[in-house]
Amino acid sequence: MVINLKSEVANLKLSPVRVAVDTGGTFTDCVWVEEGELRTLKVFSTPGDPSVAIEQAVRKAVGERDFILLHGTTVGTNALLERKGARVALITTAGFEDAIEIGRQARPKLYDFFADRPEPLAAAGMRFGVRERIAADGSVVEALTDEEIERVIDLVDRSGAEAVAVSLLFSFANPEHEKRLEEAFRNRDRNVWATVPPAASPSCESFFTTFSYRLLPEFREYERMSTVVMNAYLQPLMGRYLGGLQGRMGASAKARGREVLRCAQDDKAREVRSGRIFVMQSSGGISALQTVLREPVRTVLSGPAGGVVGARAMARTSGFEKAISFDMGGTSTDVALIEGTLRTTNEGEIIGLPVRVPMLDIHTLGAGGGSIARFDAAGALRVGPQSAGAEPGPICYGKGMQPTVTDANLLLGRLRADCFLGGEFVLDLERTRRITREWLKQQGSRWRLEEFAEGILRVVNASMEKAIRAVSVERGHDPREFTLVAFGGAGALHAGELAQALQIPRVLVPQSAGALSAYGILVSDVVKEFSRTVMLRAEMASEGRVRAAAAAIKELALSSFADEGYATHRVKVIASLDLRYRGQGFELNVRFARGAMRSAVAEFHREHKRRYGYADEGREVEVVNVRVRATLETRLPTMRGRRPAAAGAIKMIDAYFRGKTLRTKLIERESMAVGQCVKGPAVITEYSATTVVPVGASAELDGAGGIVVSC
């Protein structure tokens, strides 16, 4: 069966179905709205080629109908973690070739003289200096000659590079030299604009290029260089993956892959509409395919970002503005603080390397349902960060041989063997008991099965409790003022006990909790973000210059939307400033509402006091960067509310809590009536997740369809 993709929506009798897909370590989640109802589908991920599972999910979901695919991907993240990206050549100002390896003076372990630092993504033999120099004020100290351009391009040619990163000193102040290098690359016979290999090709015959003045025109040379190199490192891989996905979604991999990649690198090209694939960005918004192919570094937290967006939407629907999102999947757990608006940061770090594109402020740890339990050399029980993933998976999936968090929940009766994925997949309880017992004997442990399983949950809960404290208590927020929004396949299994430990008053388990990241991608807006370093004093005399810089960036953002065929009158633009006290080495971002410098400075003082405990209103304030976030709001189909239902039947089962077996209520979420109260201990099952109501807590279904667990 081949999915029929039309070139223009106007030619269709029916509007295309918006389908959101989130690829996880164990499951690939698919959500869409049909006949006013949110539909959910989970299939096992295919780590070798994630697009295989995506194709399976989409075909099951929409069949022959036309669709728009919104995709959250971990391809870029995994490539960085496994260091399986492209061979990158770095071109920088002569004498600064090793700046990317020297990095900053700060060390993660101050007193460890033997600590290993992460290797740069551009190896020593792939870093080339070009004789030129721009001063900090943008003036030309040493001009870049044609001979020097030819020399460095020839070196890159002979290096075997698949991608090129160009980051010249102070190019954010004057990009003239980078623009000349860009034109030289563009005019060569072997360049990505003229010859792009087929999407199915195992390697690139030509290199991709990333220029810092386009991607990140900001100061701090090391961080800018690292981000540009990371982008180039991911370009060929993401090009092949997304080109192949485009092919699987109905187009020829050979022809469509060439077209998509060529258009992605052409600044004047309009959106390739025949595939209509959008990708989730780390900043909490989706972006058109060609933008992602040009700037894949913006997707390194693609999946987790969807979860935060979904948690915010569901929390608001249930009437909660202040929330902590708790996304526990098969491989990792992601937590984030939500206080009205989504919090973004420009100081992210991946595999120990800085990345300075906007991303949601998410704290990630290696703890999930597939996290493997083990005993360390001292005999202490450890859980994760290693995960069983989708292959071989937990023991209860039928292939795994090492106990995991999912196996522990099954052994304790909190996860029901015949209620997993609506009964479509039956967990093997007997196999789990047998193999776990054998494993404990091999380890020389005398723990009883239930004690061991509860020990696994205590260890993993301690790690997740620490992560929640990191985004709340450690940043001056009282978790008792927030609602814990639990989602992901395993989130609702653990959230109740975590809330009790942290004195969080309630847990919200939204509908389709196991696929909420995909739902977040479905409801995300199209977002584009731009920035520029200005380095001006924050005073009335500079207000006009800051306004002019914001207006120029706004025009760039609107032009980018127009190039992709969007109506710019629907685009909402928000400007902000990075401010700091003069002499500081860090900044705080505040709104630049209506271009008023005075109100921005006042907001900076307030935020500085909240974050660091003091403010010095008599001290000079400096404007470092001007930022613009342009948003095109998504128009979603109307969804029906939950249909009234009578209170469903409650069964009684045995489950293990606090060191003993207790009689526990078992109820299906679909059979719960609005306002029905279920006191713990209880287990509430549904297709994509299981909610555990611990001892001393109670659960109630609200009018929005969310389960509110009062702790």
Does residue 493 have a pLDDT over 50?
yes
Determine what percent of the chain is predicted with pLDDT higher than 90: 62
Residue 164 CB partners (closer than 8 Å, separation 6+)? 88, 89, 90, 91, 156, 185, 207, 208, 209, 210, 232
Please tell me the distance from the alpha carbon of residue 352 to that of residue 332, in angstroms, as a whole number: 18
Determine what percent of the chain is predicted with pLDDT higher than 70: 90
Q: What was the pLDDT predicted at 640?
A: 58
Please state the separation of Cα 65 from the chain's center in Å.
Answer: 29
Tokens of 474: 């450690």
Tokens of 71: 């995709």
Q: Around Cβ 469, how many Cβ atoms within 10 Å? A: 16
Over residues 511-540, the mean pLDDT reads 91
pLDDT digits (tens, 9 = 90+) for 277-287: 899 999 999 99
Lowest mean pLDDT among 177-186, 236-245, 407-416, 638-647: 638-647
pLDDT band at 514 (very low <50, low <70, confident <90, very high): confident
Tokens of 124: 């020593």
Positive or negative, the CA dihedral 434, 440, 442, 446 is negative
Q: What was the pLDDT predicted at 641?
A: 54
Over residues 104-113, the mean pLDDT reads 80
DSSP string covering 605-662, please? HHHHHHHHS---TTS-EEEEEEEEEEEE---PPP---PPP-PPPP-EEEEEEETTEEE
Tokens of 173: 């102040």
Please tell me the distance from the alpha carbon of residue 191 to that of residue 174, in angstroms, as a whole number: 25
Does 512 or 466 have the greater pLDDT score?
466
For residues 73 and 518, the answer to whether their CB atoms sit within 8 Å is no
Does residue 264 have a pLDDT over 60?
no
Q: How many CA atoms lie within 13 A of 431 on its CB side?
A: 13
Please tell me the distance from the alpha carbon of residue 195 to that of residue 207, in angstroms, as a whole number: 10
Residue 134 CB partners (closer than 8 Å, separation 6+)? 140, 141, 168, 169, 170, 171, 173, 174, 176, 177
Q: What was the pLDDT predicted at 36?
A: 76
Three-class secondary structure assignment of 259-281: HHHHHHHCCCCCCCCCCCEEEEC
Please tell me the distance from the alpha carbon of residue 519 to that of residue 542, in angstroms, as a whole number: 43
pLDDT band at 670 (very low <50, low <70, confident <90, very high): confident
Tokens of 513: 């909790």
Three-class secondary structure assignment of 196-222: CCCCCCCCCCCCEEEEHHHHCCCCCHH
Please tell me the distance from the alpha carbon of residue 418 to that of residue 617, in angstroms, as a whole number: 63
Residue 239 CB partners (closer than 8 Å, separation 6+)? 196, 199, 204, 208, 261, 264, 293
pLDDT digits (tens, 9 = 90+) for 682-697: 999 998 899 999 999 9
For residues 309 and 302, the answer to whether their CB atoms sit within 8 Å is no
Mean pLDDT of the chain: 87
Please tell me the distance from the alpha carbon of residue 666 to that of residue 685, in angstroms, as a whole number: 8
Residue 687 has φ and ψ, to the nearest 5°, of -60, -50
Tokens of 263: 């258009």
Q: What was the pLDDT predicted at 563?
A: 85
Over residues 557-578, the mean pLDDT reads 91
Please tell me the distance from the alpha carbon of residue 314 to that of residue 488, in angstroms, as a whole number: 14
Over residues 669-677, the mean pLDDT reads 89
Quote the Cα angle for 298-508-516, to 5°: 35
